[in-house]
Chains A and B, each alone.
Chain A
Amino acid sequence: MSVSTNPSARGRKAAAAPARRVRRLSGRDKVVLGLMVGVPTLIQLVLVWIPTLMSVGLSFTRWNGLELTDIKPAGVENYQFIAQDYPPFWPAMQHNVLWLAFLALVATPLGLLLAVLLDQNIRGTRIYQSIFFAPVMLSLALIGIIWQLFYNRDSGLLNFLLGTAGTPQAVDWFGDSSVNIWAALFAATWRHAGYVMILYLAGLKGVDPTLREAAQIDGANAVQTFFRVIFPAMRPVNVIIIVITVIESLRAFDIVYVINRGTNGLELISALVIQNLVGEGQVIGIGSALAVILLVISLIPITFYLSRAFGKDKEA
C-alpha cells in the first residue's frame, strides 16, 4: 500500500508510485485501512454478490423453499420449463422490450427536448423545471396509485375528458389487458422524462459555450449546432442516460406490482420472479432461473457502463 499523490490512482502507474511514500503507513494505519475497506466489502459480498451467485446456483435446482435438504439438482429443466411451458414468460419479455423501446424513443427524447428548451434563458424556466421535476421525487408505487385515480373507469378524469365516463365505451385503463401496458408506460414516462431533463440540464451547463459560438460563426443553424456539436460534447451524460434508460426498463416493477401484481397484460420479468418466490407453492428454482435471465440481460448495460466509466483508468 502506498499513499499516492496521484488522485485517480491509475492502475499500473500508481503501483510504481515513489517508493519513499510506501513507508509512511504504519502498522496501525494498515489495520485501520483494512477495516475501512474490509467492512464495506464484506457487506457488499455477503448481501449482494454471494446472493447473486446463489441465484445462479438455485436456478439449476428444484426447491420449495422449506428445508435446505430438499434442494434437488434439476439441470436446465427450469429454463426449459420457462421457455416452453410457462405462458407469462414470452409476454413478459415482450413487455420488457416494449418498456425499453418506449423509454428510449419517447420518454428520454422528451426529457432531452425539455432540457434543451429550458436551457435557453426563457422566462419562467424555474417554474417549468420544478413542475417537470416533481414526479422524480415520488416513488413509482405512489405514481401507480396517482395514475390509477386518473385512469379509473368510473371515477377517473381521463374517461370524463374523453366523454366516455359512465358509458359502455369507458375504458378501464389499468384493468384492460389490451391497453394497460401503454397506460403504465405513460405513467412511467411522467417520471423518467423529468429525470432525464435534470441530468441533461446539468450536462448542457457543462458544455463549453465557446463551442456553440464557434459553430454559429461557422454558419451552423441551431439544429445543426445541437446535433453536431452540443450533443456529442455531452458524451459522458449520454452514456449515463443510456444506462439509466436500459436499467430502468429492466428494473420496472413497483408500478406494475401496485396496479395488479404484474399480471393480466402487465407481465414483466421482474414481477414474474417475485410471483414465483412469494405466496403458496414457492418454486424457488423457477424464480431463480427468471432472475438469472434478468441478470444476464442487465449485464449488458452494466458492462457497457463500467467500460466507459473505468476504461480509461485501466488502459492508462
Chain B
Amino acid sequence: MSIAHPTDAAAAGSPADARQRSSGPGRPGPRPDRPANNKQGKRHYGTHVFLIVMAAIWLVPLAWAIFTALRPKADTDKYGYFSTGGAFNFDNFAQAWTQGGFSQLFWNSVLITVPSVFLILFFASMMAFAVSRVSWKFNITLLIMFTAGNLLPPQVLAAPLFEMFKHFELPYAVSDSGNLLNTYISVIAVDTAFQIGFVTFVLSNYMKALSPELTEAALVDGAGVWRQYWDIILPLCRPALAAMGTLEVIFIYNDFFWPLLFIQSGDRLPVTTAINNLQGQFLSNYNLIAAGAMITAIPALIIYLLLQRHFVAGLTLGSSKG
C-alpha cells in the first residue's frame, strides 16, 4: 500500500484504524452489509467447491511431510511410503533433533534474529521520526534511498560485502577466522542494513499520520527532539512496532542467503540455512528429513498461531517488501 499518499491509507494504516485492520486473515471484521441477493447465494455453492479443492491442494504438501515424519523408516521401507501401515510416533523428530544438532542451530538463529530485530526497530524508528516529523531538505531523498535499498536483490551486493568482510581483519581472540567472515556480526549487520529501509518507510508513513499537535504541545513545554521521539511518538507507534517486529522476526528467521554467504562453519548456521545440509546429513532417510523440516517450521508455526494478526498487519502496512 502506497501509504505515501495519505488518502490511500484507508486500507493501509493510519494509526487510528491500525488495530482494526490488523484483523488479518480469519477475521473478516465488521463490514458494511452488502445487498445479499439470491444470485449470490447460489454462486457461493460453486465458490465453496472451488475453495475446498484449492484448500486441499494447499494442504497436501504439508500434510505429506508431517505424515512422512511421523512414520518410522523401518515401517515405510516395509509397507511403502504410500501406505498407512506400521507405527506413528515422534521418534524421527527426536532423532532428527539430536542428530541434526537442532538445539545449537536454534540458538544460532536466536543470536542472529534477536539483536537484528532490535537494531532494525531502533534505527528505523529514529530515521522515520527524523524524516516524518521534522521537515528538512533531504528527507524525501533519504527516504527514497532507504526504500530503494530494501528492494535490491541481495545477490547484487554479495561479492563486495563478502570481500569487505574478508579483508576486515580482526584479532584471532575476537574472531577465529581472523576477519568478519564466519561471525554473527556480519550477518546481523547486513540483515539490519537491508531491513532498515523497509521498516523506515512503513514507520515514517505511520508517524506522518499522527497529529502534528502531539509534538507541538511538547515543543511548547520545551521538550527536546529526543524526548519527543522517545516519550511521545514511539509509544504511539506501538501497534506499528509490534507489527514490524513480528514481521522482521519472521523475515530474519527465514533468511537463507546471508548466513549461507558469510558463515562457513556448519555448527554456526541458523536453522533456515542449515536445512540446506539436512539432505546430505540424513542421506536419503526421507522420514528424518521430513522431521527436520517440520522442526524448522515450528517457530513460524508458533508465530502463525499467536501473532498472525501482527504479522498480517505488518505485511499490509508496508508491503513494499519484495
- A: residues with CB less than 8 A from B are 1-9, 11, 14-15, 17, 24-26, 28-29, 32-33, 36-37, 39-41, 43-44, 46-52, 54-55, 58, 65, 68, 114, 117-118, 120-142, 145-150, 152, 154-157, 160, 165, 187, 190, 194-195, 198-199, 201-203, 205-209, 212-213, 216, 222, 234, 236-237, 239-240, 243-244, 247-248, 250-251, 253-254, 257-258, 269-270, 273-274, 277-278, 284, 287-288, 291-292, 294-295, 298, 301-302, 305-306, 308-310, 312-314
Contact = CB atoms under 8 A, between A and B. Distances in A.
A6 B147 CA distance: 21
B225 A128 contact: no
B111 interface: no
Contacts of A39: 123, 126
B160 A54 contact: yes
Contacts of A118: 51
A50 B293 CA distance: 37
Given A149-B293, A309-B320, A201 B140 contact: no
Contacts of A295: 152-153, 156
B2, B226, B250, B278 pick with most chain A CB within 10 angstroms: B2
B156 A306 contact: no
B235 interface: no
Contact of B28 (A15, A26, A121, A139): A121
A236 B216 CA distance: 31
Interface of B: 1-2, 4-6, 8, 10-12, 21, 24-29, 31-32, 34-36, 40, 43-44, 47-48, 50-51, 54-55, 58-62, 64-65, 68, 76, 81-82, 123-124, 126-127, 129-137, 139-140, 142-149, 151-164, 166-167, 189-190, 192-194, 196-197, 200, 208-210, 212, 215-216, 219, 224-226, 229, 250, 253-257, 260-261, 272-273, 275-276, 278-279, 286, 289-290, 293, 296-297, 300-301, 303-304, 308, 311-312, 315-316, 319-322
A132 B286 contact: no
Contact of B158 (A114, A269, A291): A291
B224 A32 contact: yes
Nearest to B67: A157
Contacts of B136: 1-2, 9
A262 B167 CA distance: 28
A198 B247 CA distance: 14
A137 B127 contact: no
A134 B58 CA distance: 9
A60 to B, nearest CB: 13
22 contacts: A36-B127, A40-B126, A41-B142, A47-B194, A51-B161, A68-B167, A126-B28, A130-B25, A131-B58, A133-B25, A139-B296, A141-B256, A141-B276, A142-B275, A142-B297, A195-B315, A198-B24, A205-B21, A209-B34, A243-B322, A301-B151, A310-B147
A150 B64 contact: yes
Contact of B139 (A9, A130, A194, A195): A9
B256 A48 contact: no
Given A142-B296, A274-B261, A43 B156 contact: no
Interface class of chain A by DSSP: helix
B316 A198 contact: yes
B215 A150 contact: no
Nearest to B205: A8
Contacts of B124: 40
Contact of B159 (A1, A50, A58, A269): A58
Given A138-B254, A146-B62, A209-B34, A236 B5 contact: yes
A284 to B, nearest CB: 5
B319 A9 contact: no
A86 to B, nearest CB: 16
Contact of A7 (B208, B253, B254): B208
A93 B55 CA distance: 33
B153 A298 contact: yes
Given A126-B28, A137-B300, A236 B8 contact: yes
The 6 closest A-B pairs by CB, nearest first: A206-B11, A247-B322, A129-B25, A139-B254, A47-B193, A9-B135
Contacts of A4: 134-135, 212
Contacts of B54: 114, 132
B58, B159, B289, B319 pick with most chain A CB within 10 angstroms: B159
A38 to B, nearest CB: 9
Given A150-B64, A198-B315, A288-B159, A209 B193 contact: no
A286 to B, nearest CB: 10
A39 B119 CA distance: 11
B231 to A, nearest CB: 13
Given A7-B208, A237-B11, A130 B26 contact: yes
Given A150-B65, A310-B143, 5 more contacts: A1-B136, A4-B135, A40-B124, A40-B127, A43-B196
A3 B134 contact: yes
A44 B146 contact: yes
A309 B135 contact: no
A48 B216 contact: no
A2 B31 CA distance: 42
